């Protein structure tokens, strides 16, 4: 039972950053492969259905599979809504010959979302501020100079 609870908490803690990233990017999903997400969500769904079909229902794993399904289907829905909301911006960017990320109007729209540091600015008080020594701040890397020239 203890190992099952540890597994549930560990797995579900991996989902914790996803809602913050979705809020920060106004619903856009970046860095998650949708084919993997589809296969993974199908695995969670069919595992949940196998628990439903049994004579007894394991609440621990049923909760785990239900939360996994909810988060993963939420990611799909979030990106779908983002695609609907930005269809005009993406069309104008395509007509201008630019990508969505490089189009100035879409940059302004994307920057108009929630600023997590305004909501969770108190967290920054606990971070350790590391600074470079003064002699290393103004030194340019020779590799960068060779590439840029």
Q: How many domains, the chain?
A: 1
Each residue of 46-87: pLDDT tens digit? 999 999 999 888 888 888 899 899 999 999 999 999 999 999
Is residue 118 included in any domain, yes or no? yes
- Check whether 3 has a pLDDT greater than 70: yes
Quick check: is 139 in a domain?
Answer: no
* Long-range contact pairs involving 102-110 (C-beta distance under 8 Å, separation at least 24): 109/26, 110/25, 110/26, 110/28
45 is a domain residue:
yes
pLDDT digits (tens, 9 = 90+) for 89-113: 999 999 999 988 888 888 888 877 7
Instruction: Give the residue numbers spanning the domain of 12.
Output: 2-126
In a domain, 87, yes or no: yes
In a domain, 135, yes or no: no
The Cα–Cα gap between 35 and 43 comes to 12
Q: What pTM value is reported for the model?
A: 0.69
User: Residue 75: inside a domain, yes or no?
Assistant: yes
Of 124, 138, 90, 94, nearest to 110 by C-alpha is 90
Return d(Cα 96, Cα 17) in angstroms, integer.
34
């Amino acid at each position: 039972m203890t190992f099952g609870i540890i597994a549930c908490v560990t797995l579900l803690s991996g989902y914790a950053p996803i809602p913050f990233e979705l809020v920060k990017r106004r619903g856009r999903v970046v860095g998650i492969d949708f084919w993997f997400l589809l296969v993974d969500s199908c695995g969670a769904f069919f595992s949940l259905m196998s628990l439903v079909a049994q004579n007894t229902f394991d609440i621990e794993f049923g909760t785990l599979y239900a939360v996994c399904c909810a988060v993963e289907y939420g990611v799909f829905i979030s990106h779908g809504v983002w695609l609907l909301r930005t269809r005009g911006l993406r069309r104008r960017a395509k007509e201008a010959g630019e990508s969505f990320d490089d189009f100035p109007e879409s940059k302004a729209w994307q920057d108009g979302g929630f600023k997590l540091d305004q909501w969770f600015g108190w967290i920054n008080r606990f971070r350790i501020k590391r600074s470079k020594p003064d002699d290393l701040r103004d030194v340019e890397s020779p590799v960068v100079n060779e590439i840029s020239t």
